Amino acid sequence: MILAGTAISLLLNLLAVFYLISVFAICLMIVFENRNPLKTLSWLLVILFVPVIGVIVYFFFGRNYRKQKIYTRKSMADSARMADHADRQVMLLSGVLSGESDAVRSKEHLIHLMLRNNRSLLTLDNRIDLLVNGRQTFPAMLDAIASANSFIHLEFYRIEPDTLGMEFSELMMRKAKEGVKVRVIYDDVGSWNIRKPYIKMMREAGVEIYPFMPVRFPSFSSKINYRNHRKILVVDGKVGFVGGLNIADKYLHGLPHLGPWVDTHLRVEGEAVAALDRVFIADWDFVSGEELPPDRSLDNVLRTENRCLVQVASSGPDTDWANIMQVYFSAIATAKSSIYLTSPYFSPDESLLTALKTAALSGVDVRMIFPESSDSIIANWNTRSYITELLEAGVRIFLYRNGFIHSKYLLVDNIFSSVGSPNVDVRSFDLDFEVTALVYDEDFALRLGVLFAEDLKNCTEIRLHEWEKRRKRDRYKESMARIFGPLY
């Protein structure tokens, strides 16, 4: 018994030494990654003060794979072709915009930025419909799919095999049997309810369907934190959809404890559809191994004869820059009159937070809508942790009370608009694969501004003197949640 006890004690001591050496090595690795200091300190605190669990959480969610080629882009030839197109547009940009309004030309620097950091080509001939909530969005999508003659490209973070999901699936299977090429990408974590029988059913009907970065042992630790949050539908290269809605019943009917689901989506016709399709094609090449011809949808573009400038911006851990965060930062930092922002989750990095506060202090009308109640408790408390300093800078904060607002849009100076999949948080800007439409058009900005005004009618504005009277325990929750903000 004494010998056994001694052996166990020795084993425990060895494990403790091994653990301490591992923690020391991990801490050094985190420091030498040269990340944002806030994120570095957050991870160091978690590992040092949450024994064992902190190391496990870091192993699955903390390692920085952004520059480690976890995602291979399309062929070098296609990449070079896109770079050539983008460089040509940079040189010709001033001439292209010479006939535009002063308002549009005032945002030339944003167009230039996205040409340089993301090769987001500027498209000129487009028509955009603003779709509000699932009751407008899903029928429009289903109508587009039903009209398909050539191909259907569908990519969503979440596809549920529920009533709405099966309506989409049955329609796509029917179109596949009619000879339409149907390609589907779903995120393996976001669409965790999808099972093998569903995949088998779709494939037997002729639908080509693949998960994005499947989470499987033993490689799942390097993939689980990098998810495809994009929402893309392209039909025949003639019509495209992008926005914040996924395909599931809750996005149509809402949730019992939150009420209606409030969201925003776009229906696009014109040259921007081809740009949206290129994002899908790059992802399809990655998940399927099939290299589709580049720019294959350009021949199918529906000419709208409507001048509306659009760039389709995509970002993710495959890009050298946090593209969408950069254009948000630049648009906010250079705003002249107004910034209207709606996001269900708010956890910005220091640069974006400073830009918002600086704009408000400079006299820009900065208004932001957050949900009063959220589907994520930690994210909601984290969002609230930023409210005091925003209010002190003069930002007007509104909490949406008539359901859960999941819309993700930005409107600057009533000319620059962004509607897409990214939230204003570290995950969307740095970890997830996202896509958004950047629109430089006064008519569309007017429509988005009307939507923002309508959303404000269902909000309660927070006043600083009232907010400062909130309960101490709420402040503690905010502070604790904010610590984890940079980690997810």
Give catalytic residues, as residue numbers: 229, 231, 236, 406, 408, 413
Instruction: Read off the tokens for 325.
Output: 């965060």
Residue with tokens 């570095």: 40
Q: Helices (DSSP H) in 118-162: which residue ranges?
A: 133-146
Question: Rounded distance, CA 413 to CA 31, Å?
Answer: 40
> Distance between CA 461 and CA 400 in Å, rounded?
9
Q: Taken in order 200, 201, 206, 207, is the CA torsion positive or negative?
A: negative
Q: Facing residues of 269 across strands?
A: 127, 239
Using N-to-C axis directions, what is the helix angle for 37-49 and 53-61, rounded to 10°? 140
Q: Is the dihedral of CA 441, 444, 232, 410 positive or negative?
A: positive
Expressed in percent and rounded to 5, the helix, strand and coil fractions of the chain are 50, 20, 30
Kindly report each contact of residues 200-205 with a partner whose C-beta sits within 8 Å and lies 24 or more positions away, as own/partner. 201/169, 201/173, 202/169, 202/172, 202/173, 205/173, 205/174, 205/176, 205/177
How far does CA 107 lie from the centroid of its chain? 22
What is the rounded distance in angstroms from the CA atom of residue 270 to the CA atom of residue 306? 9
Extract the tokens encoding 92: 């010709």
User: Cβ(292)–Cβ(281) under 8 Å?
Assistant: yes
Q: CB neighbours of 357 closer than 8 A, spacing ≥ 6?
A: 389, 390, 393, 395
Gyration radius of the chain's alpha carbons: 24
Q: Exposed (0-12), middle (13-18) or buried (19+): which is 109, by Cβ within 10 Å?
A: exposed
Distance CA 214, CA 288 (A): 12
DSSP 53: H
The two tokens of residue 90 are 């940079």
Q: Residue 217 corresponds to which tokens in the numbers above? A: 């042992």
- What do you get for the CA distance between the two ends of the chain, in Å? 47
Whole-angstrom Cα distance, residue 464 to residue 131?
34
